Amino acid sequence: MGIGISIFLIALGAILTFGVNASIQGLDLSSIGVILMIVGAIGILVDLMIFGNRTRTGTYVRETQAAPAPVDDVEVRRYDTGL
């Protein structure tokens, strides 16, 4: 069960519990709504436990800092400005 279905069950259960005033002989809509909300919450928890720990597999390249250029290759020029 995905998170979307779980949220749908919670919403449907809340509507049945808090929003419907009709009564059906032999059925208690408030109890059915509470059951649907509990099942939706359990579905979200199970989905997060199963898919929350999922990591990406494959190879990756770790970036490292490049070594600085050797100092021997640098030429320093000084200009006389006449000041």
What's residue 50's pLDDT? 86
Q: Give pLDDT tens digits for 52-75.
A: 776 666 666 667 776 666 666 556
Q: What is the pLDDT of residue 52?
A: 76
What pLDDT, in 10s, does the model give residues 1-50? 788 999 999 999 999 999 988 888 888 899 999 999 999 999 999 998 88
H or E element, residue 43? helix 29-51
The predicted structure's pLDDT at residue 70? 62
Short-list 48, 43, 46, 50, CA closest to 11:
43
> Which pLDDT score is estimated for 41?
96
